[in-house]
Structure 1
Amino acid sequence: MTSAADATSTAKSALSAELAAMPLALMLVESRSTLMLRQRAAQLLQDQLGLASAECLYIDGSGRWLGRDGDEGQFDCSDFNHPYAHVIRSGKALTLSVADARTRLDDATFQQQVAALGAGSYLHIRPLRAADKGREWLGVMVLVGTQSRLRSLTEDPGMVAFDALLCRVWARLAREQGERQRSRLLQDSLAKLNDGARRQALADQLADDLLGQSSAMQALRRHVVRAAETNLAVLLQGETGTGKDRVARAIHQLSGRSKGPFMAINCAAIPEALLESELFGHAKGAFSGADQAREGLISQADGGTLFLDEIGDMPLALQAKLLRVLESGRYRPLGASEERCANLRLVAATHQPLREQIREQRFRADLYYRLGQFPLELPPLCERRDDIATLAQSFIRDFCEREGRDEMGITPAALRLLYRRDYPGNVRELKNVIDYACAMTPQGADIDAYLLPGEQSDQASSASEVTEDAGFALPDDIDDLRQALRDVESAIIRQRLRRFGGNRAQVAESLGLPKRTLAHKCQLLELDTK
């Protein structure tokens, strides 16, 4: 027969047995995050002990703030106007009545928390700290219930065991979450590095088509790679001769549409009456001379890229039709009764100031903004003079391959003139200059300064105008006689070199100089490298 003492002992240990039950422990251990753990622990305590409420507050990464799940406010761990700071500082549990909490503590967030609690209720606050060597603070547990129920928890072995299990699982999950977060950050960093390296590799590949190592060209190649990764319409703007057609082809070749067609048209080169047919196509009999149906460029570019050069010259009526293609992907050929679908990527280019044309009502504002989803500004040659030597060498190689000429170089004196030259026609003008100089250079020789066409040759000889019989017309503003004499001598030699096609022997004979003396003067005057 069970004695009264045994019954009392059994009753006291009932709570310990209930809290230490294996299913309850498993619920904590199987939690997949600290948030889930806190929610499960609070719910278990509330249900098993018959409490009014239970909550676990956590210390954030800074160690200064106690947070509540659900963004319901936070508490400063160093502010003793609420009891949580006392518990963390002392490391001991604290029990107080709600009535005392309301009258003695003036923390606004804490008062808001206890406002909904009954005046006869009690708060039991327990510190939660990891049991490992670091002993880091995890947070506090807040239990609300009757005084008798909470008093029995103070030294209850089951509650102590529950705290220990909770803290152990919490610390483990926190470490795992920290490791997962660090792993994600590392993976994200590696992904960004790999992505950056991939983009840089693609930009480097473009250096064979978009020549130049100036900062402006490096930036342009990076932007081309980014543009190619999207399906956005690209608007290329820049001065004439900056290579907009090359950029358009580069965008196509790097894009997911690279296996599709690349169709190009210069809107300024096609008469207005024919441009619509070129773009949209026409049905048989659509107009006089339309003996058979014809596919337009929009149809031919399906699955690929359509490049519209000089879009600023497109008539307003066609601009409206093009806008509809961009917005709906649908169009109707001239004279056709049914609409067709087009899946294409549009790249447009212009050297004209489209914003001014919009103000003058010569270009549609809605089309401008639709075309400019990914705007790219191409730098003029004056902003990338460091690339002139690279471009010149490339144009020389192209000329020699095209014309079947032996390899040739270019003298430093010629390069210096190229660097000083103005290029309103940009890269296209430089190419024309080089092609002319290559054609004028004798077989086996290098391009020399006197062979460059245009205003630089004229400027070089204008320092002293030479005539065959009448002498010189000297400028009036000479302030350096030695330099003026060098300019006159240089102008004379340049003129004779042009006259005799670069034949040094004939030039020396015409000037009454030994060939060695002429060669020395050419070197001093930086007319060549020989």
Structure 2
Amino acid sequence: MTEPAVPTTAGSALSAELSAMPLALTLVESLSAAALRQRSATLLQRHLGLALAECLYIDGSGRWLGRDVGEDQFDCGDFHHPYAHVIRSGKPLLLSVADARIRLDHPGFQSQVASLGASLHLHIRPLRGGQSGREWLGVIVLAGTQARLKVLAEDPGMAAFEGLLCRLWTRLAREQGERHRSQILQDSLTKLNDGARRQALADRLAEDLLGHSNAMQALRRHIVRAAETNLAVLLQGETGTGKDRVARAMHQLSARAEGSFMAINCAAIPETLLESELFGHGKGAFSGAEHAREGLISQADGGTLFLDEIGDMPLALQAKLLRVLESGRYRPLGENEERCADLRVVAATHQPLREQIKEQRFRADLYYRLGQFPITLPPLSERRDDIAQLAQSFITDFCAREGRDEMGITPAALRLLYRREYPGNVRELKNVIDYACAMTPHDADIDTYLLPGEQGGFLTGSGLEETPPPGEDATLALPNDIVDLRQAMRDIESIIIRQRLNRFGGNRAQTAQSLGLPKRTLAHKCQLLELDIK
């Protein structure tokens, strides 16, 4: 390699060149420590005819020397490179490139000097700043002829240049540290504001996704987070947990809220028609296709496509859906040209997709592509604290839908709802409430005898079954797992009194006479048993 020409300027001329005003201004105009280091190296290499000039900086930990060009880092305690010797001793070091290649085997250092001629020398100088000059900044490495480097080592212009470099470096580093601290503070405030905004959105969701339980609060927070992204969402959970409502709420909170929300139940449409429903078809694509038709993917362009019961999608169609998710491209049935769609996919299933993958009934690649943001919906058994709020909401909806007067629900009936098991989750609870509302007389509240039982009868608080109609005496089926005899006796007494009250149209005098009780005693029992029939 041809060595750089050595200028013939004397030391005093060199001093004047390095301390020239334009060069100083170039350094002063640097906006960051990294820019300062790069400008300094460029000026030295260009004006002094050096083969290499570079500033290395010590990172915040004090352990590593970093480079602004390249990704190499040098451990300050690793003496396989010369920078460690300079850092440890605090003194400049002059060595030949040939000697460095023989004695030092650090791969990063060797790659740094690989392009230098063997006859050149390296001059490595420590750089310190601060008022006392004890604040380590880094090192500067210069490569050139031995004669030139010796002149630079003794030149006052070089010393002045280094002094200016270190002062500017120290100032910029401190300013950068202050900006960094300011940015951390700003980021913290932004996070607080984001947290407040997200909480406000989650609270707004509570108007549609009811429930004050911890499980529902966590679910609403997940929905807000998912709505902020364009990631595909996979909703998993038992049947009846409200996956369709969650999907729609996510769409309404997202940046795609102005677009269409298109939904399809993959289990409700025959396999032969499902592809056409999704991708659309051209005229004459199959028998009966007299007109071209846009599919749901096209209609959801710019919006959200909700695929319910994705676990029932045929394998062949899964592969085509995967292509849409990965490339945004699809082809309607019977057409030759591809189309593009920008949509967000939300899929839902109550089936164990991992088990289906093992049985080769669901594609693993589609599962992972759909599950970029997985959300599991809690069953009603994990949010029993929400039953009262849900029940009252369903009662209100029924009355508005059916034009009925407002009605309530008795504490006894509510206790029964708390104890009940719900394989169908919230959907089952709604069906129970709708049935009870339909069976409740006008100007009355839902009571225990109006709630449908698991076997088609009526459940009481202790699990006793009472066969309708309520106007006739019922045959009581006593369970074998009674653990509280007193409570069971109270429940039996409640059933009998309620049936007699119904038989006599709520007339307590006739009911008391038929049971051989004083009217005052019957009134007291009705109060104790929370029987609200007048």
- Alignment TM-score > 0.5, same fold: yes
Indicate whether 1:26 and 2:25 are aligned: yes
Equivalent residue number for residue 169 of structure 2:
170
- Closer, same or farther in 2 for the Cα pair 1:250/1:495, shift >3 Å? same
Deviation per residue, 1:336-380 (Å, 9 max, x gap): 555573635444433334454555565566655555454433222
Equivalent residue number for residue 7 of structure 1:
none
Which segment drifts farther, 69-78 or 109-118? 109-118
Deviation at 1:394, TM superposition (A): 0.9
In the alignment, residue 262 of structure 1 is paired with which amino acid?
A: F
Point out where structure 1 has 5 or more consecutive residues left out of the alignment: 1-9
Contact 1:235–1:372, Cα closer than 8 Å, also in 2: yes
Task: State the alpha-carbon separation in 1 of the partners of residues 93 and 16 from structure 2.
Answer: 23
**TM-score, normalised relative to structure 2:** 0.75
Which segment drifts farther, 43-52 or 117-126? 117-126
Task: State the alpha-carbon separation in 2 of the partners of residues 498 and 355 from structure 1.
Answer: 53
Deviation at 1:424, TM superposition (A): 1.0
Which segment drifts farther, 438-447 or 336-345? 336-345
Deviation at 1:517, TM superposition (A): 3.2
In the alignment, residue 486 of structure 1 is paired with which amino acid?
A: R
Which segment drifts farther, 420-429 or 155-164? 155-164
Equivalent residue number for residue 3 of structure 1:
none
Contact 1:437–1:453, Cα closer than 8 Å, also in 2: yes
Which segment drifts farther, 134-143 or 458-467? 458-467
Equivalent residue number for residue 4 of structure 1:
none
Equivalent residue number for residue 86 of structure 2:
84
Deviation at 1:62, TM superposition (A): 2.4
Give SS of 1:419's match. Answer: helix
Give SS of 2:137's match. Answer: strand
Deviation at 1:79, TM superposition (A): 8.4
Deviation per residue, 1:291-312 (Å, 9 max, x gap): 7665554554454444343444
Which runs of structure 2 are paired with 1:44-55 in the superposition (5 Å)? 44-45=43-44, 54-55=53-54
Identity of counterpart residues, as a percentage?
Answer: 75
Task: State the alpha-carbon separation in 1 of the partners of residues 181 and 496 from structure 2.
Answer: 74
- Closer, same or farther in 2 for the Cα pair 1:371/1:162, shift >3 Å? closer
Equivalent residue number for residue 341 of structure 1:
339
In the alignment, residue 330 of structure 2 is paired with which amino acid?
A: R
Deviation at 1:172, TM superposition (A): 1.9
Which runs of structure 2 are paired with 1:131-530 in the superposition (5 Å)? 131-132=130-131, 136-142=135-141, 156-270=155-269, 279=278, 297-314=296-313, 329-333=329-333, 336=334, 341=339, 343=341, 344-357=343-356, 368=367, 371-455=370-454, 457-458=458-459, 460=461, 482-483=486-487, 485-497=489-501, 499=503, 507-525=511-529
Contact 2:123–2:143, Cα closer than 8 Å, also in 1: yes
Contact 1:324–1:331, Cα closer than 8 Å, also in 2: no
Task: State the alpha-carbon separation in 1 of the partners of residues 361 and 463 from structure 2.
Answer: 44
- Closer, same or farther in 2 for the Cα pair 1:508/1:261, shift >3 Å? farther
Task: State the alpha-carbon separation in 1 of the partners of residues 190 and 164 from structure 2.
Answer: 38
Give SS of 2:206's match. Answer: helix
**TM-score, normalised relative to structure 1:** 0.76
Which runs of structure 2 are paired with 1:40-119 in the superposition (5 Å)? 40-45=39-44, 54-67=53-66, 70-74=70-74, 76=76, 83-85=85-87, 87-88=89-90, 94=92
Task: State the alpha-carbon separation in 2 of the partners of residues 243 and 148 from structure 1.
Answer: 82
Deviation per residue, 1:153-189 (Å, 9 max, x gap): 6665434422321121111221233234334444444
> What is the alpha-carbon root mean square deviation over aligned residues?
4.8
Contact 2:232–2:373, Cα closer than 8 Å, also in 1: yes
Contact 2:412–2:461, Cα closer than 8 Å, also in 1: no
In the alignment, residue 22 of structure 2 is paired with which amino acid?
A: P
Task: State the alpha-carbon separation in 2 of the partners of residues 486 and 147 from structure 1.
Answer: 107
Equivalent residue number for residue 5 of structure 1:
none
Aligned length: 514
Task: State the alpha-carbon separation in 2 of the partners of residues 176 and 278 from structure 1.
Answer: 61
Point out where structure 2 has 5 or more consecutive residues left out of the alignment: 1-8
Larger Rg: 1
Deviation per residue, 1:173-213 (Å, 9 max, x gap): 21233234334444444444444443333332222222112
Task: State the alpha-carbon separation in 1 of the partners of residues 197 and 440 from structure 2.
Answer: 43
- Closer, same or farther in 2 for the Cα pair 1:43/1:481, shift >3 Å? closer
Give SS of 1:164's match. Answer: helix
Deviation at 1:234, TM superposition (A): 3.8
Equivalent residue number for residue 3 of structure 2:
none
Give SS of 2:257's match. Answer: coil
- Closer, same or farther in 2 for the Cα pair 1:11/1:407, shift >3 Å? same
Task: State the alpha-carbon separation in 1 of the partners of residues 176 and 314 from structure 2.
Answer: 61
- Closer, same or farther in 2 for the Cα pair 1:134/1:452, shift >3 Å? farther
In the alignment, residue 511 of structure 1 is paired with which amino acid?
A: L
Deviation per residue, 1:38-80 (Å, 9 max, x gap): 3443454456556676554433212344555545553537989
Task: State the alpha-carbon separation in 2 of the partners of residues 188 and 169 from structure 1.
Answer: 28
Which segment drifts farther, 231-240 or 310-319? 310-319
Deviation per residue, 1:375-419 (Å, 9 max, x gap): 433222112212111211211211222233333333333222111
Contact 1:67–1:75, Cα closer than 8 Å, also in 2: no
Give SS of 1:437's match. Answer: helix
Task: State the alpha-carbon separation in 1 of the partners of residues 279 and 108 from structure 2.
Answer: 73
Contact 1:412–1:529, Cα closer than 8 Å, also in 2: no
- Closer, same or farther in 2 for the Cα pair 1:96/1:322, shift >3 Å? closer
Contact 2:458–2:465, Cα closer than 8 Å, also in 1: no
- Closer, same or farther in 2 for the Cα pair 1:389/1:128, shift >3 Å? same
Give SS of 1:208's match. Answer: coil
In the alignment, residue 76 of structure 1 is paired with which amino acid?
A: C
Contact 1:129–1:137, Cα closer than 8 Å, also in 2: yes
In the alignment, residue 332 of structure 1 is paired with which amino acid?
A: P
Contact 1:31–1:37, Cα closer than 8 Å, also in 2: yes
Task: State the alpha-carbon separation in 1 of the partners of residues 219 and 24 from structure 2.
Answer: 61
Contact 1:235–1:349, Cα closer than 8 Å, also in 2: yes
